[in-house]
Amino acid sequence: MSLLLRVGLFAFLAVVGLFVFPVLMAPVAGYLVGSVLGTFTAAAVANALVLRIYERGRLADIGLGWTRASRQNLIVGVIGGCGAACFVIVPALATGIARMRPDPEYAGGWPAVLFVTIILLFGAFGEEMLFRGYGFQVLLRVAGPFATILPVSLLFALAHTANQNSTFLAIANTAGWGVILGVAFLRSGDLWLPVGLHFGWNWALPMLGANLSGFKMGVTGYALEWHVSELWSGGAYGPEGGLMTSTVLGVLAVYLWKAPIEGQEAYLVRPPKEGT
């Protein structure tokens, strides 16, 4: 079966799911939860169906098998993602170009932290299954890393253009993050490392009072107030829209090179059999 047909069916199912599932879930769960869970469901269904049709496989075959190596890669990813967020925020706080102030709009507290943690975890899984799942992996097998990671990273960035207060630099940084996440899959052979990186970054920013991709979470009762230009801070979009995040992408690349990542066999990236 041709590569285009496989990737095309995956993309079609994913897009249909992204239109259908959030709409069905929003009236019950609310806009934010419905959108996140709808994206997760669309990604899981698209991957599971195409895996079953073409590979006679199961969802774990996109790199979600749970092993000792998977656990280590997840931990390495979460540490890297959280560390990258701290690399952006902590020096800014230490030098006085940013400060934490009480946020009267959000009381914060453990219920809010737990809720946001769960939502961000589902969000990271959903986006990684969409952009580093079946379509990405079969393209990687046939087209190679360069011809796969760059185009998919661009799609990943374009998917964020509708976010509030989005800018060109924010989209460019998101594309850079897409490259980092694609390289993370190459290094680990599983989705646990990219999921950990994605979740760690997304979780640490709101915990430090920063906006995340244009959204204000308000989970701790404090907000990050910047005293530097939006070019550096990212403004209302959050740090992902600023040059500080552009800088940290290079640090993450070094981290992926040096970190104790356990390589696993990527089922879908194995060389295809004759006639497939």
Confidence category of residue 29, pLDDT binned at 50, 70, 90: confident
**Residue 274 above 90 pLDDT?**
no
- Structural domain boundaries in the chain: 66-269
Amino acid code (one letter) for 158: L
Tokens at 154, concatenated: 């661009």
Q: What is the pLDDT of residue 28?
A: 85
Q: What is the pLDDT of residue 148?
A: 96
Write out pLDDT tens, residues 87-120: 999 999 999 999 999 988 887 788 889 999 999 9
| HSE (side-chain half, CA atoms, 13 Å) at 166 | 14
Tokens at 126, concatenated: 């959903």
* CB-based burial, 103-118: b 16+ in 10 Å, e otherwise: beebebeeebbeebbe
Q: What is the pLDDT of residue 154?
A: 97
Question: Which pTM does this prediction carry?
Answer: 0.94
Cα dihedral angle (94, 172, 197, 243), rounded to 10 degrees? -10
Write out pLDDT tens, residues 214-232: 888 888 889 999 999 999 9
Q: What is the mean pLDDT of the chain?
A: 93
Spatial separation of the C-alpha atoms in residues 201 and 262, rounded to whole Å:
21
**Could you tell me where the DSSP H helices lie in the chain?**
3-29, 31-50, 68-95, 110-131, 134-143, 145-158, 168-188, 192-207, 230-233, 243-258
Spatial separation of the C-alpha atoms in residues 152 and 9, rounded to whole Å:
16
Write out pLDDT tens, residues 226-256: 999 999 999 999 999 999 999 999 999 999 9
- Phi and psi at 225, nearest 5°, equal -115, 120
Cα angle for residues 125, 193, 128 (degrees, 5° grid): 30
Asked if 224 and 150 touch (Cβ cutoff 8 Å), the reply is no
- Report the pLDDT averaged over residues 67-77: 97
- Report the pLDDT averaged over residues 146-164: 94
Q: What is the pLDDT of residue 276?
A: 45
Spatial separation of the C-alpha atoms in residues 212 and 215, rounded to whole Å:
5
**Residue 273 above 70 pLDDT?**
no
Q: What is the pLDDT of residue 110?
A: 87
Q: What is the pLDDT of residue 275?
A: 45
- Percentage of the chain exceeding pLDDT 90: 83
- Report the pLDDT averaged over residues 178-206: 97
- Phi and psi at 41, nearest 5°, equal -65, -40
